[in-house]
Amino acid sequence: MSGRRHSIAVAGAGIGGLTAALLLSRAGFAVSLIEKRTRVEEEGAGLQLSPNASRILIGAGLGHVLSRRAIAPECVRIRRGKDGRDLATIPLGQTIKKRHGAPYLVIHRAELASLLLDAVRASPGVRLLYGREARGVAEHDGGITVSLHGERGSESALEASALVAAEGIWSAHAPADSLPRFSGFCAWRALVPAASAPELVGSGEVGLWLGPRAHLVHYPLKNAGVVNVVAVIEDRRPRAGWSRAGEKGVIAGAFAGWAEVPRALIASAPSWKCWSLFDRKPARRWGNGLVTPLGDAAHPILPFLAQGAALAIEDAAVLAANLAPMAKPDEIIVGGLNDAKTQRSEAQGSADIGRALRRYEGERAARTIRAQREARRNMLAYHATFPLSLVRDLVLARASGEQLLARFDWLYGWSADQSSVQH
């Protein structure tokens, strides 16, 4: 390995893995991005990208392409599900951009994945290994060997200096003491044609409707001619995995007593996909040796704070910053003339990388745990039943938009430079 660039294997090309591959290659590493699917197909749905995440992508030179593909909504408008009564409006648009120096965006997931993939492809030293599953990792002096399982049953192996497991919530490299937990809720997603909801397309808002044991979010997506709808309802039968088809009658029935707007949106949806919502018990210790998890693999979070992808993007920035000094082994070992010396240097390089991985985990744990807990708290507030819902509605109605926005300063105001001090 002496004299060559260190290489990092990244398993999983979701939003977290793609961002990690991009930032690690920009930091000077050779990167192998391993994805078990044959191409990166982010599910047809939207994503809110708060300033803590958009700031990183803009810093990576993606601001221009983001502004062509994303919308910066003016506000989050919170309404009561049963009668549509306005409860609160949280300003976004220029207000949040001025406050945090970066925009709050909404974007189609496929657009975000494809703009990241384009940037990864344009970045030097990245090898894309699609249709390959990382099936095991062995550590040895100087690095790791990742076993790969190909689509048609082929087996191969990959040498690298470290493995970043960005494999999502069901990752085999998730923290050992953090078990998956079913929330009791299922998210239903649909894309409603803009023609069926023209007033919502032009409104410039993220709509949030709250009701007992359910809520609904909608926002328009740029270039797609659709309104993204996420409806969360109770579900007794959890199912692992990504998505499955949902029956229209079930979701229409769950929102039957709600106001006209959410009911009309639900009726206009051509089809639904469902996700049983899981998270894991928050963990302080994540990885081991030369393996570290990132994104949902490290700290899966319920979607009640719209932060899972944002935190994965943050992870990637902090990981790349910690590993950057190790991108190139010392020139002193170039050539490997003295084998013993080279081996010692490789072992030293591995020890440095291992320490950098632990530093990254240490810098991320408190913040991601806080976000995981906050998301669970939001679940209770969003779905409160009477009389708690009355208290929630009063608190929301009495606070100004600025006050409500200020509650998220710890979250949206984060930047990678301050990661070790600001949680």
Binding interface with ligand FAD (CB under 6 A): 11-17, 34-37, 47-48, 133-134, 166-168, 187, 189, 230, 275, 295-296, 303, 306-310, 312
Q: Minimum distance from CB of 313 to ligand FAD (Å)? A: 8
Q: The dihedral of CA 233, 239, 243, 249: what is its sign? A: negative
**Rounded CA Rg of the chain:** 22
Q: In this structure, what token pair is assigned to residue 331?
A: 């020139």
* 151 vs 330 by CB, closer to ligand FAD: 151
* 345 vs 419 by CB, closer to ligand FAD: 419
C-alpha to C-alpha distance for 338 and 345, rounded to whole angstroms: 11
Cα distances (angstroms) measured from residue 105 to each of 30, 97, 146, 274, 306: 31, 10, 36, 24, 12
* 346 vs 374 by CB, closer to ligand FAD: 374
In this structure, are residues 155 and 174 in contact, taking their beta carbons and an 8 Å threshold?
no
* 1 vs 174 by CB, closer to ligand FAD: 174
Q: Minimum distance from CB of 306 to ligand FAD (Å)? A: 4
C-alpha to C-alpha distance for 364 and 290, rounded to whole angstroms: 17
* 297 vs 333 by CB, closer to ligand FAD: 297
Q: Minimum distance from CB of 286 to ligand FAD (Å)? A: 13
In this structure, are residues 372 and 299 in contact, taking their beta carbons and an 8 Å threshold?
yes
Q: H/E element holding 119?
A: helix 109-122
C-alpha to C-alpha distance for 274 and 251, rounded to whole angstroms: 10
Q: Minimum distance from CB of 110 to ligand FAD (Å)? A: 12
In this structure, are residues 172 and 300 in contact, taking their beta carbons and an 8 Å threshold?
no
* 12 vs 51 by CB, closer to ligand FAD: 12
Q: Minimum distance from CB of 167 to ligand FAD (Å)? A: 3
Q: Minimum distance from CB of 363 to ligand FAD (Å)? A: 17
User: Cα 190 to chain center, whole Å?
Assistant: 19
- Which positions are catalytic? 219
C-alpha to C-alpha distance for 318 and 97, rounded to whole angstroms: 22
Tell me the three state secondary structure of residue 113: helix
User: Which backbone phi and psi does 56 adopt, to 5 degrees?
Assistant: -70, -45
Q: Minimum distance from CB of 6 to ligand FAD (Å)? A: 21
* 168 vs 349 by CB, closer to ligand FAD: 168
In this structure, are residues 410 and 423 in contact, taking their beta carbons and an 8 Å threshold?
yes
C-alpha to C-alpha distance for 134 and 156, rounded to whole angstroms: 10
Around Cβ 131, how many Cβ atoms within 10 Å? 16
